């Protein structure tokens, strides 16, 4: 998988991946808005034929990198693509001055939680009833040591 910055032509593929990955996908307008958001950093992973198979959106605020959303196309999961695209995006954020990263993840999403733990994130809290479609809690995770990311 090759990783590059997302462009407007990628939106259709990103929306398809988002809609098949989440019970509460982002509306198309949200992804389009990210192109004009000066704090957004949008990345895609593409296969050998330049088809988008993964994406991540990070919001940079001062020295913080907030992972807003990430997904990998279902047919390309369990190949390390999530870890690769997160590491690339956070390495770039680090070069821009990020020294801490945050994210929220559904408490039932143990696969994602394990991924984030493997990258050095720590569980730091719970956001009660964060997900409005089913009132599921979100686990708040924080990365304060970018050492693993920068290896």
104 is catalytic: yes
Catalytic entry in 104, 122, 130, 131: 104
Residue 134 main-chain phi, psi, to 5 deg: -145, 10
Full DSSP string of the chain: -EEEE--GGGHHHHHHHHHHH-SSPPPHHHHHHHTT-TTEEEEEEE-TT--EEEEEEEEEETTEEEEEEEEE-GGG-SSSHHHHHHHHHHHHHHHTT--EEEEEEETT-HHHHHHHHHTT-EEEEEEEEEETTTTEEEEEEEE--TTTTT-
Tokens linked to 116:
């984030």
Q: Which of 74, 96, 116, 130 is catalytic?
A: 116
Active site residues: 104, 116
């Amino acid at each position: 998988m090759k990783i590059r910055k997302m462009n407007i032509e990628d939106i259709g593929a990103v929306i398809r991946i988002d809609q098949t990955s989440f019970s509460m996908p982002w509306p198309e307008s949200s992804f389009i808005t990210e192109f004009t958001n000066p704090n957004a950093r949008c990345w895609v992973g593409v296969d050998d034929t330049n088809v988008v198979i993964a994406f991540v959106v990070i919001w940079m605020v001062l020295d913080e990198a907030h992972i807003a959303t990430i997904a990998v196309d279902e047919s390309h999961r369990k190949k390390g693509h999530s870890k690769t695209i997160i590491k690339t995006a956070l390495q770039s954020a680090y070069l821009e001055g990020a020294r801490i990263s945050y994210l929220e993840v559904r408490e039932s999403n143990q696969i994602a939680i394990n991924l984030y733990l493997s990258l050095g994130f720590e569980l730091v809290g719970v956001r009660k009833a964060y997900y409005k479609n089913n009132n599921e809690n979100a686990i708040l995770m924080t990365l304060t040591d970018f050492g693993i990311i920068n290896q």
